Structure 1
Amino acid sequence: MESALEEIEFLALSPNRVAVLDSLATGERTRNELAAETGASQATLGRILNDFRDRAWIEREGSTYVATATGRLVSSGFTDLREIIETEQRLRGVVEYLPTDALTFDLRRLADATITTPTQMRPNAPLSRLLELLEDADEVWTVSHAFNEQTLTVVQERTARGEQAFKGVFSQRAIDALATDDELQTRLEDLLEEDDAAVRVREDGVPLAVMLLDDVVYLLVRDEHGVLRASIDTDDEVVRSWARETVDDYWERADSLEGANDEFLE
């Protein structure tokens, strides 16, 4: 009997084998139907079907073939492995910067996420993506170690016009950075005057930057030096649930900005 790794190699080395097993795992097929679905020749299909029958992955019922219980198990497991590898490949360039300790959901939930990275022509592409999402969002919840000028400006102007509700938890360092600029300090003070805006601050800091914009979760990814490396956004329901719980948890453990920064607001 071949080892498990040898069986994986047997299947993985042939896209036609994968396609045939996937097809038969969903229901009965004739050889002509398999040929039409996979593009494999009849000779190739004959070899594949014989190999699968030798492994008891499929069985023949008259003129049709169908996967057995173990064939469906192999198909499902291989699909899971393929999705994991595909997700890993997409995240490979940014995974070292992800706050993985805080991301308690299965990373496979990011398989269809939009990953935006800086380029020579668009060095601020991740931030541009965030501003695009902010301009369309009716409700914004966030936890972040930064509150930059562009984000603050969009949020303050949209809440002032009654177009957006905002709830944010920021590190003390992020708030202190705004105090060094009179215009940004004024914008933050104006934001705090809005009925649909609330801001809290954490002395202990915030190790991640996550924003929930209606149904979209946006993650801003920086390295240890604060250099912007990428953004990731997704509307996956599991990631959305994680984002809501994360914001709520930080919110409950944060202080009111008004009470914690009286000197800043004077």
Structure 2
Amino acid sequence: MTDDDGHDGAAYLAGSPVRIEILRALRREPRRPADLTAAVDATRTTVQRILAGFRERDWVVKREAAYHVTPTGTRVHDAYEELLDEVERAERFGQFAADLERVGADVPAAALDAGDLTVAPDRNPLAAVDRITELLREGGGAEIRAVSPVVIQQFNEAATEALDAGAEITLVIDRDVVETSVDSFESATDRALDNDDATVYVSSNRIEYGLFRYDDLTCVTAYDRRNNPRCVLESRDRAIAEWADDRFDSLLDDARPLSVVLEGA
């Protein structure tokens, strides 16, 4: 097999939207050229030229004046549609995947198949923050395990509401935000130290993405280079939950209680 095997056929099909439209139409049912002309909004000359290209590649055959997709043509069609789906998925999840890969999060590829994504566009930069806040508030009564590279007022308020509703929270924060947490959010820090249902740990390693888990929900947050939350994935997939639990346990193993860190300071 050479490097060019299959490339010419793929390039031919991708070279014009009308080509895949015709193959798609024939995949649904055999059609005559005149029917295809109306179905894909193309001239008869264009349709005939494309059908000739398909016949040359053995993707279709002509039988009783109608064109039928061959088994190989069916496979080409289905594979191309899968490719289009993957490209569309890549466009939607691209920023999320790139930001997490940049920091070595190694999120399973299954995350792109099994979750809802909230992206913070430039016109609504707080979209991810708002969604995380909403989900945290809904965690009242649950056991919440969370990791965060930043301290944000909205997160503190949502966590307080969840605690008031009976949640138990175990949080691992980045070592570089401890001072900010104490200086800017003194009441939240005091509550974290005094509340038996809230336990805060300080990671010995840098944290560059966020996650939290409760019940069967896993949320993974990607941050940009300025440490702003940009994308949050919500998933109930077991593989994503296991990955998040493993990441949380790994960070927790190398973390120290906030009370110990503050005493040392």
Q: What's the CA shift for 1:12? A: 1.8
**Structure 1 counterpart of 2:259, one-letter code:** N
Write out the 4+ residue segments of structure 1 that deviate beyond 6 Å after TM superposition. Answer: none
**Secondary structure of the residue that 1:97 maps to in structure 2?**
helix
Q: Could you tell me how far apart the structure 2 residues matched to 1:124 and 1:212 are? A: 21
Provide closer, same or farther for how the CA distance between residues 72 and 168 of structure 1 changes in structure 2, counting only shifts above 3 A.
farther
Could you tell me how far 1:65 is from its partner in structure 2?
4.1
Q: Assess, with a 3 A threshold, how the Cα gap between structure 1 residues 54 and 230 changes in structure 2: closer, same or farther.
A: same
Shift in Å at residue 222 of structure 1?
2.3
Once the two structures are superposed, residues 109-131 of structure 1 have per-residue CA deviations (whole angstroms, 9 ceiling, x without a partner) of: 38973322343xx4433322322
- TM-superposed deviation, 1:56: 0.5
Aligned residues: 253
Q: SS of 1:29's equivalent?
A: coil
Deviation at 1:92, TM superposition (A): 5.5
Equivalence for 2:101: 99
1:36-85: per-residue Cα shift (whole Å, max 9, x none)? 75445655444333321221012345465443232233223323433343
Partner residue of 1:173? 176
Could you say which residue in structure 1 is the equivalent of 2:137?
135
- What are the Cα deviations for residues 227-247 of structure 1, in whole angstroms up to 9, with x where unaligned? 426223344x5xx44542233
Q: Tell me, what secondary structure is at the counterpart of 2:151?
A: coil
Amino acid at match of 2:129: L
> Do the aligned residues in 1 keep the contact of 2:117 with 2:233 (CA within 8 Å)?
yes
What amino acid does structure 2 have at the position aligned with 1:246?
A: W
**Residue equivalent to 1:115:** 119
- The alignment partner of 2:108 has SS state of coil
Which residue in 1 is equivalent to 2:49? 47
Distance 1:148 1:118 in 2: 19
> Bigger shift: 88-97 or 177-186?
88-97
Other structure's SS at 1:211 match: strand
RMSD: 3.8
Q: Deviations over 1:171-220 (max 9, x none)?
A: 33344532334212123235x422xx554443123232233465463413
- Per the alignment, residue 251 of structure 1 pairs with 248
- Structure 2 contact 118–131 (Cα < 8 Å) conserved: no
- Establish whether residue 161 from structure 1 lines up as the match of residue 165 from structure 2: yes
**For residues 196 and 239 of structure 2, what CA distance do their matches in structure 1 show?**
29
Alpha-carbon distance between aligned partners in 2 of 1:128 and 1:184, rounded to the nearest angstrom? 19
CA contact (8 A) 1:143 1:170 kept: yes
1:85-134 Cα distance to aligned partner (Å, 9 max, x none): 33444455666533353234237538973322343xx4433322322333
SS of the aligned residue for 2:230 comes to strand
How far did residue 158 of structure 1 move? 1.9
Instruction: State, as a whole percentage, how many aligned pairs show the same letter.
Output: 21
Task: Indicate the residue corresponding to 1:233 in structure 2.
Answer: 233
Q: Is the 8 A contact 1:141 1:166 kept in 2?
A: yes
Q: Equivalent residue for 1:210? A: 211
CA contact (8 A) 1:169 1:200 kept: yes
Tell me how far apart the structure 1 counterparts of residues 16 and 114 of structure 2 sit (CA, whole Å).
27
Q: Distance in 1 between matches of 2:241 and 2:169?
A: 13
In structure 2, the CA distance between the partners of 1:123 and 1:37, relative to structure 1 (3 Å rule), is: same
Contact in 2 for aligned 1:141/1:212 (Cα 8 Å):
yes
Partner of 1:83: 85
State the AA in 2 paired with 1:211.
F
**Structure 1, gaps ≥5 residues long:** none
Residue aligned with 2:212, SS:
strand
Q: Is the 8 A contact 2:201 2:257 kept in 1?
A: no
Cα offset for 1:143? 2.5
Residue 47 of structure 1 aligns to a residue whose secondary structure is helix
How has the CA–CA distance of structure 1 residues 130 and 111 changed in structure 2, closer, same or farther, with 3 Å as cutoff? Answer: closer
Which of 229, 236, 259 is the matching residue for 1:261?
259
Answering whether residue 73 of structure 2 is matched by residue 71 of structure 1, we say: yes
**Structure 2-normalised TM-score?**
0.72
